[in-house]
Structure 1
């Protein structure tokens, strides 16, 4: 749980005494704000806000904890500012990429970022889950990150969405691998391999809904990255999606089906002041997506 982020929700609601106005102040929609505040209350074990028709009213626990919450949120902001100062003084770039981004695009982004910091400066890469990358950018631990879309991006600046080609990967001995006209319903009986839902709930739900729209309602199996995904597919009981281009892989067949629908949607998020780094990564995404 991102405690500082959820405390920021609490402070905003306490200041505005209204969920809608607090959401507007945080540049987000009201449902995730309300859900986040409930998660904070569950985590702390106390009710912080009474929800009424007139607005939001602090409980006795909320009144007692609000000063400490303000201190933590303010300290987090100061930590962010100090981390940015230190990073800039060393000329280093901290950036992150979703594990769904293919290797060629990760290395292309690193190469582009090197040009923004000059010779000898360090470029440090973190590959991880979208929710963690957004939290790192929000906290100042990353300057920029490439994340999956859709995702909750409150508290960070986000660029346009870019579509990256993605393929369906299936067991080589499955009937769909040799079908003249493969269809999604042919995948019935296989499990869908995908990063865990917790890595980015909106993107996970979107792709599951996409499969259901095409007549496929199957169980899901978690795989942390493409290596685990391809291993699960080669085992013969699963299929998945990958942005890694086709290559000779024992036990696995790549299929191009509904390319626009299954494309990997990504975007760049950045901390304030990291526009130069974000622009460099954006250019890579737009260039590499055409390959």
Structure 2
């Protein structure tokens, strides 16, 4: 018996409460639909529906099994959709990045990978954004070919490229007394720091805390995985933040250089065999030059 087909019969009749209406919805005649439901009930050994002059109603067993039937049907659709994506994206390079990278960095590494890919099929680049912890897990399980993550990070058995330092710009509320072309961190006391939550990458978060404390600053922290969240907190006068986009501008926000000690440190990670070395080098060179 085609279980999924017969479960579709069951769900349609349960929704419509009428065999004729369900048959119309499924694009079939009523007799094979009724026969199919009988076959399903015989196979399961339970009665799913009661048939009467007022229509069709779920039995106790039917009411219990209907959500499970829907879950199986939904799962089959998701499976087919995932298979379709795999088919269409066969050979594509799948790259994950952290939200701390700017849009220009993402565009630069995508263009570089397309230019470096030896196989024409690999010139299709699929990017996704997630936390360092999520990207490490995704690379380890094979869902991504490689990823750009915070350094330091817990990588397990994954391989990693060189540590790259990407300059960052300090974002400060425009009306804060410390706002200016050369803002000192010590002058930002009283403001929180808007940055990615510690759970997104514990070692990198702890390094930022230590660096700020070394500069005489021990702020509270507001969760801000990317620039949009950070800008909102800074413009509201609640926090300062760091961005890798030197061109980032927003009303209510002033910018100044953050200094080398607060540069974003990242690495490209992969699981063996990973993408071709030329692709990994292209990503590193693009990030270094962007």
Shorter-normalised TM-score: what interval?
Answer: 0.5 to 0.7
Partner of 2:240: 239
Stretches of structure 1 lacking an aligned partner (at least 5 in a row): 1-82
Question: 1:249 maps to what in 2?
Answer: 250
For 1:120 and 1:184, locate their aligned partners in 2 and report how far apart those are by CA, in whole Å.
Answer: 44
Q: Residue 182 of structure 2 contacts residue 256 of structure 2 at CA under 8 Å; is this kept in 1? A: no
Query: Are 1:268 and 2:268 matched, yes or no?
Result: yes
Q: Does 1:285 align with 2:287?
A: yes
User: Any idea what SS the aligned residue of 1:174 has?
Assistant: coil
Q: Note if contact 1:169-1:242 (Cα within 8 Å) is conserved in structure 2.
A: yes
**How far does residue 129 in structure 1 lie from its aligned partner after superposition?**
0.3
Instruction: Indicate the SS of the match to 2:148.
Output: strand
Deviation, structure 1 residue 119: 5.9
TM-aligned CA deviation for residue 287 of structure 1: 2.2
- Output the CA distance in 2 between the equivalents of 1:97 and 1:165: 17
Equivalences for 1:189-228 in 2 at 5 Å? 189-228=190-229
Partner of 1:95: 95
Correspondence 1:135 to 2:147: no
Q: Which of residues 104, 120, 123 in structure 1 aligns to 2:125?
A: 123
CA contact (8 A) 1:90 1:121 kept: no
TM-score by length of 2: 0.65
Is 1:153–2:155 an aligned residue pair? Answer: yes
What is the aligned residue count? 202
- Please name the residue that 2:104 is paired with: 104
What's the CA shift string for 1:8-62, capped at 9, x where partnerless? xxxxxxxxxxxxxxxxxxxxxxxxxxxxxxxxxxxxxxxxxxxxxxxxxxxxxxx
| 2:196–2:226 contact (8 Å) kept in structure 1 | yes
Runs of 4+ in 1 over 3 A off after TM superposition: none
Distance in 2 separating the partners of 1:157 and 1:173 = 45
The TM-score, its normalising length taken from structure 1, stands at 0.65
Query: Deviation of residue 168 (structure 1)?
Result: 1.1
Q: Distance in 2 between matches of 1:186 and 1:121?
A: 47
Residues 286, 159 of structure 1: alpha-carbon distance in 2 compared, 3 angstrom cutoff: same
Return the alpha-carbon distance in structure 1 between the equivalents of residues 288 and 225 of structure 2. 26
- Offset at 1:181? 5.5
CA-atom RMSD in angstroms: 2.2
What secondary structure sits across from 1:160 in the alignment? coil
CA deviation digits over 1:197-252, x for unaligned, max 9?
Answer: 00000010111111111111111111121101011100011101111113431011
* Other structure's SS at 2:205 match: helix
Task: Note if contact 1:246-1:254 (Cα within 8 Å) is conserved in structure 2.
Answer: no
- Give the Cα separation in 1 of the matches to 2:219 and 2:138: 33
Distance in 2 of aligned mates of 1:189 and 1:214: 14
Rounded Cα–Cα distance in structure 1 between residues aligned with 2:191 and 2:201: 23
Point out the structure with max Rg over C-alpha: 2
Cα distance change of structure 1 residues 199 and 209 upon mapping to structure 2, 3 Å threshold: same
Q: Tell whether the 8 Å contact from 2:92 to 2:123 is kept in structure 1 after alignment.
A: yes
- Tell me the SS of whatever aligns to 2:255: strand
